[in-house]
Amino acid sequence: MQPWRSTRRSTPCANEAVRFALLFCEPHNFSFYETRSWLPFKGEVYCEQPEGRIRFTHMAPYVFNIVRAPTLGIIDLCGLPW
């Protein structure tokens, strides 16, 4: 085994962690991103706000397929949206 590798990992390697890209956009930008292979995410997106965890609905989420982009399900930003 390589000296920098461990048999137990608490986090994935950088090249294993990036499976898709996520962006939020307004309706007037939908066609721009869709023609560039971005896919609408039809699931739910959650983020943190000062009052606690909320469902983010202010702008539409889009995903870009790098390895395997989800188009349905739940994405938790695990923090503030920006």
Please report which helix (H) or strand (E) contains residue 32, including its range: helix 30-34
Residue 62 CB neighbour total at 10 angstroms: 21
- Per run of 10 residues, the mean pLDDT along the chain (length 82 residues) is 45 59 95 95 94 94 87 90 68
Q: What's 67's DSSP letter?
A: S
Residue 33 CB neighbour total at 10 angstroms: 16
Per-domain residue ranges of the chain: 19-76
Please give the Cα distance from 21 to 9 (Å, whole number): 23
**Amino acid 6: pLDDT:** 44
Query: What's the pTM?
Result: 0.72
DSSP SS3 for 52:
strand
